[in-house]
Structure 1
Amino acid sequence: MMYSLARPLLFRLAPERAHELTLSWLKTAHSFGLASQPFIHKPVTCMGIEFPNSVGLAAGLDKNGEYIDALASLGFGFIEIGTVTPRPQEGNPQPRLFRIPEAQAIINRMGFNNDGVDQLVENVKAAKFKGVLGINIGKNADTPIEQAVDDYLICLEKVYHYASYVTVNISSPNTKNLRSLQSGDALPTLLEALKEKQAELAVHYQHYVPLVLKVAPDLTADDISFISKQLLKFKIDGLIVTNTTLARDGVENLPFGDEMGGLSGAPVFDKSTKCLRSFAAVLKHKVPLIGVGGILSGEQAMAKQQAGANLVQIYSGLIYTGPKLVNDCVEAMT
Structure 2
Amino acid sequence: MGLSFKHKMRSMLYVLIGTAGTYSGICIYKGDETYYRKFLMPFVRVLNPETAHNLAVFASEYRLIPKSQYQDDSALNVKVFGKDFPNPVGIAAGFDKDGRSILGLKDIGFGFVEIGSVTPLPQSGNEKPRVFRLSQDMAVINRYGFNSEGHAEVLKRLENVRHNAEVPIVGVNLGKNKLSEDPIKDYVEGVQTFGTVSDYLVVNISSPNTPNLRSLQNKENLKQLLKAVVAARDSLNVNPKPPLLLKLAPDLSYEEKKDIAEVIKEKDCKVDGLIVCNTTVQRPSLNSDHKNEVGGLSGAPLRDMSTQMIMEMSLLTNGAVIIGVGGISTGKDAYEKIKAGASLVQIYSTLAFDGPPVVTRIKKELVDLLEKDGYKNISEAVGKSVKQ
Shorter-chain TM range is over 0.9
Cα shift at 1:112: 0.4
Residues 1:292 and 2:325 are matched in the alignment: yes
> Does the 8 A contact of 1:26 with 1:35 survive in 2?
no
Cα shift at 1:235: 2.0
Q: What TM-score, normalized by structure 1, do the two folds share?
A: 0.94
User: Out of 35, 39, 49, which is 1:15 matched to?
Assistant: 49
Cα distance in 1 for residues equivalent to 2:60 and 2:247: 28
Secondary structure in structure 2 of the residue aligned to 1:81:
strand
Cα distance in 2 for residues equivalent to 1:241 and 1:184: 18
Cα shift at 1:163: 0.3
The equivalences for 1:1-334 within 5 A come to: 1-2=27-28, 3-4=36-37, 5-28=39-62, 30=63, 34-41=66-73, 42-127=76-161, 128=164, 129-144=166-181, 147-201=182-236, 204-233=237-266, 234-251=269-286, 254-285=288-319, 287-331=320-364, 332=366, 334=378
Secondary structure in structure 1 of the residue aligned to 2:202:
strand
Q: Percent identity?
A: 40
Cα shift at 1:259: 0.2
> Does the 8 A contact of 1:47 with 1:238 survive in 2?
no
Cα shift at 1:36: 3.5
Cα distance in 2 for residues equivalent to 1:153 and 1:85: 11
Cα shift at 1:250: 3.0
> Does the 8 A contact of 2:117 with 2:172 survive in 1?
yes
> Does the 8 A contact of 2:334 with 2:345 survive in 1?
yes
> Does the 8 A contact of 1:302 with 1:329 survive in 2?
no
Cα distance in 2 for residues equivalent to 1:235 and 1:183: 16
Q: What amino acid is aligned across from residue 100 of structure 2 in structure 1?
A: E
Secondary structure in structure 1 of the residue aligned to 2:171:
strand
User: In terms of Rg, which structure is larger?
Assistant: 2
Matched residue count: 326
> Does the 8 A contact of 1:245 with 1:263 survive in 2?
yes
> Does the 8 A contact of 2:68 with 2:360 survive in 1?
no
Q: Deviations over 1:16-56 (max 9, x none)?
A: 0011112223334x26x834342415221112222111111
Structure 2: where are the runs of 5+ without partners?
1-26, 29-35, 371-377, 379-388
Q: What amino acid is aligned across from residue 201 of structure 2 in structure 1?
A: V
Cα shift at 1:256: 0.2
Q: State the Cα RMSD in Å.
A: 1.4
Q: Deviations over 1:276-307 (max 9, x none)?
A: 1111111222x201100000111100010111
> Does the 8 A contact of 1:85 with 1:112 survive in 2?
yes
Cα distance in 1 for residues equivalent to 2:341 and 2:60: 33
